[in-house]
Every structure is written in structure tokens, then in C-alpha cells.
């Protein structure tokens, strides 16, 4: 905070808690200097942070007169929390200064560092999505792909994908970690888990019943799969 911002914050807290008012001009200046010193590396406002709101919360909830540390400590806790959630990945398209052919990687490291500093200072929101290369989400993708079985090289699989639309669609969903209707049985047509929904066709000649695979799953199965997926995501986050 700049001295100006600290002075504004002090005026605000004195307004909220009149016990903080000082009659003595010299004492007020000393206090301003002390607060400026202790809050020099705390921003007035940042992503998800407002020093005035923090001060107000302290005054509203604590019987003790507010100290600079009642603002700086929450800031450092907030910053640590943000950095814990920040995954440190960014869109290369947003960094045209990085030459993709630069083998040293210096520009990339510099950009990552600059981004971390910007997030730490609250100038930039943290990137909290999880890349699917590590962590529980990636483990989940591995688990689902393993459950689907892998008995042929990926190149062959890709060639065959056009001839195996259901299988290819399931693999795509698993790789993107999205709900898959074939993970649950269908309560409408009773298609078991792993098999597509089916429609009934009655032969008008002999009234024989035949089943054919439907291209689209029954809506209730889509709902069940979404609920199943949500439950599993919850377990993943809880684990």
C-alpha cells in the first residue's frame, strides 16, 4: 500500500472504531509511519483481496484494537492460499514473446516466473484448472482408459476408430474426463453397462422382436451417467 492508501485505510478504521482516534498530531504521524512501514508489501486491493474489508471484518469480530498485523497476516495467508491453488500453466498464445524454437527455454521460464509474481502480488487471478498430466484428474483418466482395456497400439486404434464409433467415443470421453453414458446401465431399455441403448423392432410378418443399437442413449441414462460422474468427481476430490 502506498502511504496515501494507508492513510485512507487508517481514516476508515478510525471511523469504524472511535477508540483509535488520536488527539495528538505527533502520535498520529508516528502511527501512520508505522502502518506505512508494516503494510508496504500488502496491496490495498488485489484479486479476491480488499485490505479495507479485512480491517472491517477484524473490527466487527474482535474486541482488540486493530493492528497493522491484523491486515498483513490475512494478506499473507490469502497469498499463500492463492499460490497453492495456482497451477503455473498458461496459454502459449498469450505469450507471443516466447519463441517456440528457443531451445534454452529462458523466455518460457521468465514468463512463468513473471506470471507467478503477478499472481503472488494479486495483480493476476490464479490459474486453477488442473492440467490432465498430473494429479487426481490425470489418475482418473488413467483409470478409465485402463478400464476400457488397451490391447492395440494407439496408431491402429486411431485407424479403426471410424469403424468402432462407440469405442472411439468412449475413449475420447475418458481422455477428456467427461461423463460417459456407457458407464451406467440404462433403466429404460435395460441395456447393461458398456452396451449402447437399444430400440425394439417388431417384425410385422411374424411379430418376432428384434433389438437394434440406438445411435443416441435414452435421456434417463444420460442423467444417470451425469449423476454417476458427479459422484465419482466428488469421491476424487474427497480422496
Grid cell, residue 101, equals: 524454437
**Per-residue string for binding with Zn ion, 138-177, x by CB under 5 A?**
----------------------------------------
Judged by CB under 5 A, the residue of 188, 194, 222, 228 near Zn ion is: 188
90 binds Zn ion (CB under 5 A): no
186 binds Zn ion (CB under 5 A): yes
189 binds Zn ion (CB under 5 A): yes
Grid cell, residue 153, equals: 497400439
Say how far residue 165 (Cα) sits from the centre of its chain: 31
SS3 108: helix
Judged by CB under 5 A, the stretch of 57-65, 103-111, 117-125, 215-223 that binds Zn ion is: 215-223
- Closest separation between CB of residue 169 and Zn ion, Å? 16
CA distances from 12 to 7, 19, 57, 180, 213 (A): 9, 13, 12, 54, 69
Of the candidates 79, 73, 118, 77, the one whose C-alpha atom is nearest the C-alpha of residue 95 is: 118
Judged by CB under 5 A, the stretch of 4-12, 70-78, 194-202, 229-237 that binds Zn ion is: 194-202
Which helix or strand (DSSP H or E) is residue 41 part of?
Answer: none
* Residue number, 146 or 190, with CB nearest to Zn ion: 190
12 binds Zn ion (CB under 5 A): no
* Residue number, 79 or 218, with CB nearest to Zn ion: 218
CA 82/CA 89 separation, integer angstroms? 14
Judged by CB under 5 A, the residue of 218, 224, 225, 229 near Zn ion is: 218
CA distances from 74 to 9, 45, 65, 70 (A): 15, 13, 16, 7
Please count the residues of this chain forming the interface with Zn ion, following the rule CB under 5 A. Answer: 6
Residue 48, phi then psi, degrees to nearest 5:
70, 15
Judged by CB under 5 A, the stretch of 13-21, 34-42, 74-82, 218-226 that binds Zn ion is: 218-226
184 binds Zn ion (CB under 5 A): no
- Closest separation between CB of residue 192 and Zn ion, Å? 10
- Closest separation between CB of residue 225 and Zn ion, Å? 11
Angle at the Cα of 225 from the Cα atoms of 224 and 230, rounded to 5 degrees: 100
- Interface positions with Zn ion (CB under 5 A): 186, 188-189, 191, 197, 218
Amino acid at each position: 500500500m502506498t502511504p496515501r492508501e494507508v492513510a485512507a485505510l487508517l481514516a476508515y478504521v478510525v471511523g469504524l472504531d472511535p477508540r483509535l482516534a488520536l488527539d495528538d498530531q505527533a502520535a498520529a504521524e508516528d502511527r501512520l509511519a508505522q502502518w506505512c512501514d508494516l503494510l508496504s508489501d500488502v496491496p490495498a486491493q488485489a484479486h479476491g483481496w480488499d485490505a479495507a474489508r479485512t480491517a472491517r471484518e477484524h473490527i466487527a469480530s474482535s474486541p482488540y484494537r486493530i493492528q497493522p498485523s491484523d491486515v498483513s497476516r490475512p494478506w499473507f495467508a490469502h497469498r499463500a492460499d492463492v499460490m497453492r491453488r495456482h497451477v503455473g500453466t498458461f496459454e502459449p498464445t498469450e505469450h507471443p514473446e516466447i519463441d517456440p524454437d528457443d531451445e534454452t527455454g529462458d523466455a518460457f521460464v521468465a514468463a512463468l516466473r513473471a506470471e507467478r509474481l503477478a499472481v503472488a502480488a494479486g495483480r493476476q487471478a490464479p490459474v486453477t484448472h488442473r492440467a490432465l498430466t498430473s494429479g487426481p484428474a490425470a489418475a482418473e483418466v488413467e483409470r478409465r482408459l485402463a478400464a476400457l482395456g488397451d490391447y492395440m497400439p494407439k496408431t491402429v486404434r486411431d485407424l479403426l476408430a471410424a469403424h468402432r464409433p462407440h469405442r472411439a467415443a468412449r475413449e475420447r470421453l475418458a481422455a477428456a474426463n467427461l461423463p460417459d453414458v456407457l458407464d451406467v446401465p440404462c433403466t429404460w431399455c435395460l441395456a447393461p453397462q458398456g452396451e449402447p441403448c437399444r430400440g425394439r423392432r417388431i417384425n410385422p410378418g411374424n411379430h418376432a422382436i428384434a433389438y437394434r443399437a440406438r445411435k443416441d442413449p435414452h435421456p434417463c441414462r444420460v442423467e444417470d451417467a451425469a449423476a454417476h460422474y458427479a459422484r465419482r468427481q466428488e469421491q476424487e476430490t474427497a480422496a
